[in-house]
């Protein structure tokens, strides 16, 4: 059981906005530990390209969900939710608050609200749907989706083949409409959640991103990607920073062009992250340098928050 006054403090925002350094500072102040909410930092084979915190940074503060999986492991947001909630049961017995930091909005939402356990798609089914798309294009996907899952068809982005393919893969494999996996209500958590978002002017963020990519290249990202090149078809490696270098290894583009594309695609990813997070009204936004303001805000919330009501069936 969680304590009524247990707090999970989430530091979120776009890549290169300073989440890691802030989370470490907060964890040191509160005597806490950090749960990473990054869907790529969990892979042990990927270090430079995923901006894993340096070993010296992790020495002072224990980090969880950093390089604890392999790129060959199947992993998803539902599994992450399950493992994090189990870990929090232990951490809240020993510390309060617990710090979470990362830019993977789906992983953060999974912990805060819960996520549906969508089954793994068999390769044969995935290939069948891909072949349908090749033969009949978007219209073929739309037609089958309308037949198999009219409810999802009404609200789906019918111009997005990736979303349509996912819905059809699940529907074909399970014999159930994809929408039936998406009807569960948000789960109620027995701990409080505070969300601090980091934002800064776009030109400053872009400059941070460009300089970070340069540092990654200097640190050996090209060599790291070359070691992983034989496994390029794994889902984990469909990641900015690696896929562009794979194109370089395939002699499709030059190294300079690959680096330029990494920067451009990282900036694009940052914009997507901001779009996701800005839809969440629970996030309180700060500048990265406003450490003292963030700390005072957290302390005020922890101090002033009344206890949670007891869970149903408990006194």
Q: Check whether 308 has a pLDDT greater than 80.
A: no
Asked whether residue 259 is assigned to any structural domain, the reply reads yes
Say yes or no: 66 and 44 in one domain.
yes
Please give the full DSSP string across 165-206, using - where no structure is assigned.
HHHHHHHHHHSS-GGGGS-PPPPPPSSEEEEEEE---HHHHH
Express each pLDDT in 38-56 by its tens digit: 999 999 999 999 999 988 8
Q: 45 lies in a domain?
A: yes
Q: What is the pLDDT of residues 144-162, one digit of tens each?
A: 999 999 999 998 889 889 8
2 within a domain of the structure (yes/no): no
CB 190 within 8 A of CB 1: yes
HSE at residue 312, side-chain half, CA atoms within 13 A, is 2
C-alpha–C-alpha distance, residues 26 and 30, integer Å: 6
Domain-embedded: residue 213: yes
Q: Tell me whether residue 166 is in a domain.
A: yes
Task: Give me the count of residues in the chain.
Answer: 315
Which residue did the predictor score with more confidence, 206 or 120?
206
> What pLDDT, in 10s, does the model give residues 211-268?
999 999 999 999 999 999 999 988 889 899 999 999 999 999 999 999 999 999 999 9
Does a structural domain hold residue 310?
A: no
- Note down the domain range covering 128: 123-181
pLDDT value of position 15: 96
Are 189 and 160 found together in one domain? Answer: no
pLDDT of residue 183: 62
Asked if residue 137 and residue 275 are part of one domain, the reply reads: no
Name the pLDDT band for 10 (thresholds 50, 70, 90). Answer: very high
Domain with residue 258: its CATH number is 3.40.50.300
pLDDT at residue number 314? 40
pLDDT at 270: 96
The answer on pLDDT for 181 being more than 90 is: no
Q: Which of 181, 196, 215 is the last residue of a domain?
A: 181
User: In this structure, is residue 314 part of a structural domain?
Assistant: no
User: Is residue 86 located within the same domain as residue 214?
Assistant: yes
Kindly tell me if the per-residue pLDDT of 167 is higher than 70. Answer: yes
309 within some domain:
no
**Is the per-residue pLDDT at 84 higher than 50?**
yes
Q: Both tokens of residue 151?
A: 């409810």
Give Cβ neighbours of residue 148 (< 8 Å, ≥ 6 apart): 168, 171, 172, 177, 178
pLDDT of residue 313: 44
Same domain, 193 and 72: yes
Average per-residue pLDDT in the chain? 91
Domain CATH code at residue 146 = 1.10.20.140
């Amino acid at each position: 059981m969680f304590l009524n006054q247990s707090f999970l403090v989430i530091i979120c925002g776009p890549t290169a906005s300073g989440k890691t350094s802030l989370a470490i500072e907060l964890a040191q102040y509160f005597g806490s530990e950090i749960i990473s909410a990054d869907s790529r930092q969990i892979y042990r084979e990927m270090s430079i390209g995923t901006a894993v915190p340096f070993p010296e940074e992790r020495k002072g503060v224990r980090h969880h969900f950093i390089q604890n999986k392999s790129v060959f492991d199947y992993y998803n947001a539902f599994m992450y939710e399950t493992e994090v909630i189990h870990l929090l049961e232990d951490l809240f017995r020993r510390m309060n608050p617990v710090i979470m930091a990362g830019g993977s909005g789906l992983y953060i939402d999974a912990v805060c609200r819960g996520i549906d356990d969508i089954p793994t798609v068999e390769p044969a089914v995935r290939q069948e749907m891909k072949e349908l798309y090749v033969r009949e294009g978007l219209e073929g996907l739309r037609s089958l989706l309308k037949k198999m899952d009219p409810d999802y068809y009404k609200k789906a982005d019918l111009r997005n083949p990736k979303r349509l393919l996912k819905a059809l893969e699940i529907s074909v494999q399970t014999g159930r409409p994809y929408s039936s996996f998406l009807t569960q209500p948000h789960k109620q958590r027995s701990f409080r959640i505070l969300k601090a978002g980091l934002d800064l002017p776009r030109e400053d963020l872009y400059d941070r991103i460009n300089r970070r990519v340069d540092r990654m290249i200097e640190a050996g990202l090209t060599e790291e990607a070359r070691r992983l090149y034989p496994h390029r078809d794994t889902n984990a490696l469909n990641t900015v920073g690696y896929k562009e270098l794979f194109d370089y290894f395939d002699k499709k583009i030059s190294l300079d062009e690959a680096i330029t594309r990494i920067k451009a695609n990282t900036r694009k990813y940052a914009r997507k992250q901001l779009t996701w997070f800005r839809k969440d009204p629970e996030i309180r936004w700060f500048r990265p340098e406003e450490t003292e303001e963030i700390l005072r805000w957290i302390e005020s919330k922890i101090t002033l928050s009344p206890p949670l009501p007891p869970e149903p069936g408990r006194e």
